[in-house]
Amino acid sequence: MGGPDEWPGIGRVLFQSGTVTANTGVALNFTNGLFQWSGGALTGVASNLNVVMVTGTNGNNNSGTLNRGAVFYNSGTVRHVGNGRFDVKENASFENLAGGVYSFELDGSVFTDDFAPEYFDQFWRASQNGWNEYFHHFNIF
């Protein structure tokens, strides 16, 4: 895939297996329920601008994988609606940007079965009394 790509409309895009290679980056701009990631791996760089659903239901299998060195920027919403696992490999990075939401809606998990380091970063901005802005960052691995 080369991007940016937009696939608005009805129906579903099911990412169930294989590898999407986004060498030049890809922008995902899907409406709620349209892009469902239940297996397969991402290599390269992707940005979520709207909604991506992680839908795998087998807790012993991966619902999605960020391959080694892959980067996923989320400024929209990732809905983890299955109880499957989202695997972040060595030197891969999931960046939940300011305004981005990663929503665990069932008993799914984010984990790694690879060598360190791997990153699942949360960035957000908050203001106090409308004047001061504070930028927060943490990594769950």
22-58: per-residue pLDDT in tens? 988 999 999 999 999 999 999 999 999 999 999 987 6
In a domain? residue 15: yes
In a domain? residue 75: yes
Share of the chain above pLDDT 70, in %: 78
Q: What's the whole-model pTM score?
A: 0.82
Positive/negative CA dihedral, 105, 90, 42, 8:
positive
In a domain? residue 20: yes
- Number of structural domains found in the chain: 1
In a domain? residue 131: no
In a domain? residue 60: yes
**Cα-to-chain-centroid distance, residue 73:** 7
Domain boundaries, position 62: 1-88
Phi, psi (5° rounding) for residue 55? -120, 5
In a domain? residue 41: yes
In a domain? residue 56: yes
Query: Residue 128 above 50 pLDDT?
Result: no
Residue 57 or 124, more confident = 57
Sort 97 into a burial class: Cβ within 10 Å, 0-12 / 13-18 / 19+: middle
11 torsion bin: left (phi>0), alpha (psi -120 to 50), beta (else): left
In a domain? residue 123: no
